[in-house]
Amino acid sequence: MRTFTTALGGAVLMLLAAVPARADIPMSGTFTVSHACAAYQSIRKGTNPGAVTVDPNKVYDVLARNKADATHYRITVAGAQPAERWVSAACGSVAATDGRPGAPVRTPGAEKAAAAGDASGARATHVLAMGWEPAFCAKHQDKSECRALTATSFAGTHLSLHGLWPQPRGTQYCNVPADAKQNDLAHNWDGLPEPEMSADTLKRLAAVMPGVQSKLQRHEWIVHGTCFGGTADGYFARAAGLAEAVDTSKISQLFATSAGRSLSATAIRAAFDDAFGAGAGARVSVSCNGRGDNRKITELVINLAGDVAGTAALGDLMRAAQALPAGCPGGLVDRAPH
């Protein structure tokens, strides 16, 4: 009996040892990556099976944070084994989608909108991502568009189109050949086909999307445009038009005049209310990179619903969608490098 008990006790101890102890704090939300970094299975041991990294500008689902003042977030990395991985908080910005501890600071405007029932719009069918190019170029000086960036250029004084992305998250690579998808996943954009669009559409797109100089349009079409419906010309014309609506408003002026200074999410969302109607600002989430005094605004993610593929105005599309958490409470607006 003693032998059996000892063996049983040993088996239990082995089983308990095999179960990873978790002191993390569950949460839900998204993690937007600002720069590539390792995705660890264990923070303490530094293990990373498969040498997995997270990709810049991609958004991952957040499952937990390691402590109240998080230094790492547990996310889901599709295709990784295991899929649940830890990434450093310095790799990007987190936006929670619930009220659990660690949820981002909500702005007064968002609270008023929620109190007024303004958050009851339709679930977003698309998001419009608009980035601040000087912040992107601070870590990507080798990019063609970054070498051309100046404090007075359009990209240095206006928000730049990152993409128009069908929702829900994961709606990607629709009817895309396997070789094209593999090239995209390998960041081989030279190996991707050039989307067919008119000279006028390409000209409009290049003006609001500096990344065209690095073939960003090829990546955006393969991943997101193929799920939009219709032609590449129609997709990029619509995306450019929505970006133009932001850039001809006072939003970009706010960023340009704030260069070198801090800008709050409250001010950004208020500017959207002024430009696109009351409640529009509650559909904008602010993404940042870094922490404390080094936190910098990198991108705005805008919820859209309604006739996105048609001719509806941006303000109408925003107000038709559900409200978003404010994201980070604000940060520095980077200056162009020269």
CATH homologous superfamily of 19-96 = SH3 Domains (2.30.30.40)
**CATH assignment of 108-332, given 3.40.50.1820, 3.40.50.620, 3.40.50.720, 3.90.730.10?**
3.90.730.10
Going by C-alpha positions, the residue among 170, 142, 153 that lies closest to residue 61 is 170
Where are any strands of DSSP class E within the chain?
25-33, 37-38, 53-54, 59-65, 72-76, 84-88, 92-96, 126-131, 160-166, 262-264, 284-289, 296-304, 330-332
Q: What is the pLDDT of residue 91?
A: 76
Spell out the domain ranges in the chain. Answer: 19-96, 108-332
pLDDT in tens, 310-320: 999 999 999 99
pLDDT at 4: 37
Rounded CA separation 214/281 (Å): 31
Amino acid 81: pLDDT: 85
Cis link prior to 82 (omega < 30° from 0)?
yes
Q: Own/partner pairs for 302-307, CB < 8 Å, 24+ apart?
A: 302/127, 302/128, 302/129, 302/130, 303/121, 303/124, 303/127, 304/124, 304/125, 304/126, 304/127, 304/128, 304/242, 305/121, 305/122, 305/123, 305/124, 305/125, 305/126, 306/122, 306/125
R_g of the chain computed on alpha carbons: 22
Per-residue confidence (pLDDT) for residue 120, from 0 to 100: 57
Give pLDDT < 70 ranges for the chain.
1-23, 28, 34, 57, 69, 96-120
The tokens of 166 are what?
């069908």
Residues 135-148 pLDDT 10s: 999 888 889 999 99
- Answering whether pTM is above 0.85, one says no
pLDDT at 72: 86
pLDDT given for residue 233 in this prediction: 98
